[in-house]
Amino acid sequence: MRSDQVNGDGKNAFPFYTLIVNKLIISGWALTTVSGLLGTFLAHAHVPYIEGKDYPEGQDFVIHDVEQSKAFYAYLDADDVDGFEILLDAPDRIYVSTLIPFCREYAYYDVNFALIGPGLPATHEELPVEIPAGQGAVVHIAGFKDWAERPFMYEMFSDRKYFEGRGYTQKPAQPGTYRFVVWHGRGEPGDYIAIIGRAEEFGPSDMQLAVVNTPIIRRKEEMRSACEDSGNFAAWFDRDDIESNDMESNHQE
Average pLDDT over residues 120-131: 96
112 part of a folded domain: yes
Bigger pLDDT: 68 vs 46: 68
Model pLDDT, residue 45: 67
Mean pLDDT, the chain, whole residue set: 83
Q: Specify if 234 maps to a domain.
A: no
Residues of the chain with pLDDT > 70, as a percent, come to 76
Q: Are 227 and 103 in contact (CB under 8 A)?
A: yes
Domain membership of residue 212 (yes or no) is yes
pLDDT of residue 101: 97
Conformation bin of residue 35: beta by default, left when phi > 0, alpha when psi is -120 to 50: alpha
Once rounded to an integer, what is the mean pLDDT over residues 163-186?
Answer: 96
253 in a structural domain: no
Residue 44 has pLDDT above 70, yes or no: no
pLDDT bin (cut points 50, 70, 90) of residue 197 is very high
**Are the C-beta atoms of residues 112 and 182 closer than 8 Å to each other?**
yes
* DSSP states of 36-52: HHHHHHHHH-PEEEEBT
CATH of the domain at 24: 2.60.120.380
Instruction: Name the residue range of residue 214's domain.
Output: 6-224+240-248
Least Cα distance to 42 among 221, 222, 220, 211 occurs for 211
Segment holding 34, helix H or strand E: helix 28-44
Q: Answer yes or no: is 92 within a domain.
A: yes
Provide φ and ψ at 5, rounded to 5°: -105, 160
Number of domains forming the structure of the chain? 1
| pLDDT (average), residues 142-161 | 91
Asked whether residue 46 is domain-assigned, the answer is yes
For residue 239, the model assigns a pLDDT of: 56
Q: Give the closest residue to 64 by CA, choosing from 88, 84, 46.
A: 88
Query: Looking at residue 233, what is its pLDDT?
Result: 80
Q: Are the C-beta atoms of residues 207 and 110 closer than 8 Å to each other? A: no
CA 193 from chain centre, in angstroms, equals 3
pLDDT over 60 (residue 71): yes
Mean pLDDT of 145-160: 90
Contacts of 219 (CB under 8 A, 6+ apart): none
Please indicate, yes or no, if residue 233 is contained in any of the structural domains.
no
Decide the pairing of beta strands 176-183 and 112-118: antiparallel
- pLDDT greater at residue 82 or residue 34: 82
Q: Distance between CA 104 and CA 163 in Å, rounded?
A: 11
What was the pLDDT predicted at 32?
Answer: 43
44, part of any domain: yes
Q: Kindly provide the b/e burial profile for residues 16-53, where b requires at least 16 CB atoms within 10 angstroms of the residue's own CB.
A: beebbeebeeeeeeeeebbeebbebbeeebbbbbbbee
pTM of the predicted model, to two decimals? 0.79
